Amino acid sequence: MRSLTEALLEGGRLVDEPDKDQRKELTRLEDLGLVSLTWSTTILCVDHGDDFDLEHAWDRTCNHRIEVREGHPDDPWREEDDREVLCDSCGRAHWPLRRRRTTYPRVRIGIDEDGVMAWVEGQIRRVAKAVSTLPTPGVWRFFQGTSEVYVVLLDRCLGTRYAERAFARGNPVLYIVVDHRRFSRRFIDAKWMRRLFLHDLVDRGVSALREQLDGLADVPMVCAEPASPPWLPVRAPEPRVQSRVLGAHRLELHEDHAVLDDVVVVPPGASTLLEVLRFFAARWREDFDADKAPDDYCAYSPEEVLDDLLERGVSNTEAVGTVRRNINRLRNTIQRKYVDATGIDVGSEGVVENGPEGGFRLRPAGVLVRFDDRRASDYM
């Protein structure tokens, strides 16, 4: 059974008519600086204990809650400012101030990211000495015995190297997780993967943090891959994992990063690679909208890619060779990021492949593209 702290420590949650225990816990979380509370007033669409005009209700079983805005109590014309509000469920019109409907409290919970970082750092400094705050927000480092230990606030570090499997495997690291609904079932079941949910830390205090940090010393770390043999291989080594994702990969292009099957494969900061990927995704969308057969999807040369980048003003070079190297870097980056996060090797041509007659393109039958709404109109 979930604790009250776990139930309430969720960003975006709405609590209607919070009871005494819930109010007390919300006040505690707000005092700790972990949440921000926004209070509002609601009415019931059909309130059988208060509503005297049920003949105007189309659905007398509608118990949908409607948020209302009350006028200032000192305003003599507050009723003149009353406005009509509609029920989103049944469409019934209401005038809550004019008819003096019974109102009920509602609170919307928001996670205060800066407050969470400050509070977590305070807990870390209670159990460790000489704690260093790294330039990446949400990452702290200190020595525990002779080992260098990292504590990472996972929700703030997505898309950085601290959220990659290679880093977690090679360093004593404890991940603190705020959004337990998102990550509770996505952690790898391995001894070297240590995690602590924020609601556990709030409930149990520094004892929970100390327990996890003490356990890091018992987990052997793999610091490097096995050494290569002294002879040259006859052919390229086999990938670590041969399995493939069933169906097409889902590629999502956002403002500053790209995601493949929920894995950040082009991180923030790699703007050059992202713009190259935007070009191929836009051409893929044109062929998709034209309902072409997969074999008829167009491939494009580095010269054509360069012309588009220059036209959009997002290229920092006019050299075709540099664009060709960026395309290869993009393919290798996607392959490496994906295998680090999932253990599955999509191959260097898993997303951007060589066309049958030269050039490059997104794999027609292997990738489905979705643009961020803020940028979709630029490429559709």
Do the Cβ atoms of 245 and 347 come closer than 8 Å? no
Mean pLDDT of the chain: 79
Domain span at residue 145? 113-216
**Mean pLDDT to the nearest integer, 155-162:** 85
Long-range own/partner contacts, residues 279-282 (CB < 8 A, 24 or more apart):
279/305, 279/308, 279/309, 280/352, 280/360, 280/361, 280/362, 281/251, 281/253, 281/362, 281/369, 281/371, 281/379, 282/379, 282/380
Q: Note whether 18 and 122 are same-domain residues.
A: no
**83 domain-assigned:** yes
**361 domain-assigned:** yes
Distance separating alpha carbons of residues 55 and 191, to the nearest angstrom = 64
- Angle, CA 125 vertex, CA 120 and CA 126 arms, to 5°: 100
Q: Note whether 138 and 103 are same-domain residues.
A: no
**Mean pLDDT to the nearest integer, 220-225:** 47
Q: Note whether 362 and 263 are same-domain residues.
A: yes
Distance separating alpha carbons of residues 350 and 261, to the nearest angstrom = 13
**244 domain-assigned:** no
In the chain, what is the straight-line distance between the N-terminal and C-terminal CA atoms, in Å?
47
**29 domain-assigned:** yes
**243 domain-assigned:** no
**Mean pLDDT to the nearest integer, 289-305:** 86
* CA distance to 83, 166, 219, 221, per residue, from 148 (Å): 61, 16, 13, 12
Distance separating alpha carbons of residues 302 and 319, to the nearest angstrom = 10
- Residues 230-264: tens digit of each pLDDT: 444 444 444 444 444 446 788 888 888 899 888 89
Q: What is the pLDDT of residue 242?
A: 41
Q: Which of 170, 200, 216 is the last residue of a domain?
A: 216
- Residues 55-112: tens digit of each pLDDT: 666 677 888 888 876 655 555 445 544 567 788 888 787 777 666 678 889 999 999 9
Higher pLDDT, 286 or 61: 286
> Domain count of the chain?
3
Do the Cβ atoms of 140 and 154 come closer than 8 Å? no
Burial label, 247 (beta-carbon count in 10 A; 0-12, 13-18, 19+): exposed
Q: Which of 92, 110, 128 is the last residue of a domain?
A: 110
**222 domain-assigned:** no
Q: What is the pLDDT of residue 31?
A: 93
Q: Note whether 120 and 89 are same-domain residues.
A: no
User: 45 pLDDT exceeds 70?
Assistant: yes
**223 domain-assigned:** no
User: 51 pLDDT exceeds 90?
Assistant: no
Q: Note whether 95 and 164 are same-domain residues.
A: no
Higher pLDDT, 338 or 146: 338
User: 155 pLDDT exceeds 70?
Assistant: yes
Treating both helix axes as pointing N-terminal to C-terminal, what angle do 320-342 and 271-289 enclose, rounded to 10 degrees? 90
325's enclosing H/E stretch is helix 320-342
Among 87-91, 129-133, 205-209, the range scoring the smallest mean pLDDT is 87-91
Q: Note whether 279 and 332 are same-domain residues.
A: yes
Q: Note whether 200 and 318 are same-domain residues.
A: no
Q: Note whether 355 and 256 are same-domain residues.
A: yes
- Angle, CA 217 vertex, CA 215 and CA 219 arms, to 5°: 80
**168 domain-assigned:** yes
DSSP states of 152-175: EEGGG-TTSGGGSHHHHHHS-EEE
**Mean pLDDT to the nearest integer, 41-58:** 73
Phi and psi at residue 264, to the nearest 5°: -75, 110
Q: Which of 216, 231, 262 is the last residue of a domain?
A: 216
Higher pLDDT, 228 or 49: 49
Q: What is the pLDDT of residue 230?
A: 43
Q: Note whether 185 and 271 are same-domain residues.
A: no
- Residues 356-375: tens digit of each pLDDT: 777 889 888 788 887 654 44
Look up residue 199 and give its two tokens: 């609601």
Q: Note whether 104 and 119 are same-domain residues.
A: no
Q: Note whether 262 and 363 are same-domain residues.
A: yes
Q: Note whether 256 and 344 are same-domain residues.
A: yes
- Residues 317-341: tens digit of each pLDDT: 778 888 888 888 898 888 888 888 7
